[in-house]
Amino acid sequence: MRTCTKAGKLYDTVYDHDTPREACGLFGVYAPGEDVARLTYFGLFALQHRGQESAGIAVSDGARIRAYKDLGLVTRVFTEPVLQSLQGYIAVGHTRYSTTGSSTLRNVQPITCPTEHGNIAVAHNGNLVNAHVLRAQLEAIGEQFETTNDSEVIVRLIARALDEGADIVSAIRQMMRQVEGAYSLAILTPTQLIGVRDPFGVRPLCLGKLGDAWVLASETCALPPIGAEYVRDVMPGEIVVIDERGLHSYEGLPSEREALCMFELIYFARPDSHLYGRLLYEVRRRMGQILAREHPADADLVIPVPDSGIPAAVGYATESGIPYGDGLIKNRYAPRTFIQPDQRLREQSVRLKLTPLREVIAGKRLVVVDDSIVRGTTTRQIVRLLFEAGAREVHMRITAPPIRFPCHYGIDMATQRELVAAHHTVEDVRQQIGATSLGYLSIEGLLEAAGQPRNRFCLACFNGEYPIPIPDDVELVKEIFEQPQSSLSVRADVPLTADV
């Protein structure tokens, strides 16, 4: 039996499920003579917004791959002694928000796996839509899975191809021909760093240069902290291999069309990142300007819901001529908790994160700019909070169009029955959240702000047009693979540290 990872303890976590949850963050570096574990640490720290459940780093010294991973933030997982123990010249790292598979130690990435012709470590951002079919096929021929995430399907497909004598590029191509869905990958072999992007390019992945060294990252914002410069994006369907001879590009699977997730532009990616060559702060500011034209309001003050609403609120204020101000202060240490709250605190979770400035908003007619409404519960709490603080009117303005369909490509959003806009008109939603008025940015306005044609994006959560077909034989839920792991060697009291 091939042992790809070990199991660990279960952490119960509580999240605010009324906002789209982040995709994962990938980072990789090929840098002989550099402290690659430390570089990866700083890269993952810059990508922490993409996932806060767990973090891991795998390092190769040319012969052996060593990995360390645990639940928690990057700064908690990687102490100085841990970083010093990860010696080598190639590394991949991962920071996770789970979209398939629960938040347990066994599911932390990168997933490390021995093969007959070289060991590998794989970090995955995205979500497969046919993982349940592939996993069943692999189990039928003897593979025993040790995690409950879809990423292990990718790892085992590559490993089997390597065991059968394929080289690494051929093995990845074989995997790409079998899997369906969204995947950006950072792969480590003893002597290579490899980046892979699915043929639709749903999740971002870019290349950077640090002197003679090469860097892979989910977003460009991870490059400046280590002194690297952006070179280009990994193209949809491309495999890039970095080794002692430099960078080599291969076609993994032909790209039919691009389908970058629009929520990367609206919310997920950091505002100082670039996508399609545009600074996202400016894209979001433009969203706010167009929103002001589409949904004007007679108001005294424009305020954002921090932090994601700030650029768009600036744009709305500029276009409308209404003054901009800060009406809500965010507690940056309260977005997630490992403490189980009681029901009263669940219902008032917004109060743990946002404090209204009464002196600023009392008696004012407010335009409040936010990125999205999913279930509507958080927005309702924000509106109530502002009215309780003395606001005279609250006009909600949202930079995402109404979310009517679930995401199957790597966003833990909600099922369709939980999406408030899927079953209610805009006026119904306005009444439910208690706002004076409600306006969503249109899809056309969103595309205008992005400055790119419609066929370069996935807009499925808005219009139900999925670029990658979704199977109708199973409900794709996060816990699809949850089952007893009787065959695992459980280490319940320590993080995962392993030589492969």
Please state, in angstroms and rounded to a whole number, the distance separating the CA atoms of residues 239 and 219. Answer: 17
Q: Would you give the end-to-end CA distance of the chain in angstroms?
A: 14
Nearest 10 degrees: CA dihedral of 295, 296, 298, 302? 90
Number of Cα atoms under 13 Å in the Cβ half of residue 107: 25
Nearest 10 degrees: CA dihedral of 144, 54, 233, 451? 120
The token pair that represents 486 in the structure block: 């009787």
Distance of CA 82 to the CA centre of its chain: 25
Please state, in angstroms and rounded to a whole number, the distance separating the CA atoms of residues 30 and 304. Answer: 40
Does residue 115 contact residue 124 with C-beta atoms inside 8 Å? no
Does residue 205 contact residue 230 with C-beta atoms inside 8 Å? no
Does residue 73 contact residue 62 with C-beta atoms inside 8 Å? no
Task: Give strand pairing partners of 303.
Answer: 368
The question of whether 458 is a catalytic residue gets the answer no
3-state secondary structure of 187: strand
Burial class (CB within 10 angstroms; exposed 0-12, middle 13-18, buried 19+) of 152: buried
3-state secondary structure of 201: coil
Does residue 468 contact residue 200 with C-beta atoms inside 8 Å? yes
Q: CA torsion sign, 152 to 47 to 204 to 268?
A: positive
3-state secondary structure of 126: strand
Who's near 450: CB < 8 A, 6+ residues apart? 262, 265, 276, 278, 283, 457
Report which of 193, 172, 181, 171 is spatially closest to residue 238, judged by C-alpha positions: 172
Within 65-199, where are the H helices? 74-77, 80-85, 131-140, 151-163, 168-178
DSSP state, residue 42: H
Please state, in angstroms and rounded to a whole number, the distance separating the CA atoms of residues 372 and 399. Answer: 6
Q: Which among 24, 221, 458, 461 is annotated as catalytic?
A: 24
Does residue 449 contact residue 286 with C-beta atoms inside 8 Å? yes
Does residue 316 contact residue 397 with C-beta atoms inside 8 Å? yes
Report which of 260, 354, 342 is spatially closest to residue 307, judged by C-alpha positions: 354
Summary count for the chain: helices (H), strands (E):
17, 24
| Phi, psi at 487, each rounded to 5° | -90, 5
Among all residues, which ones are annotated catalytic? Answer: 24
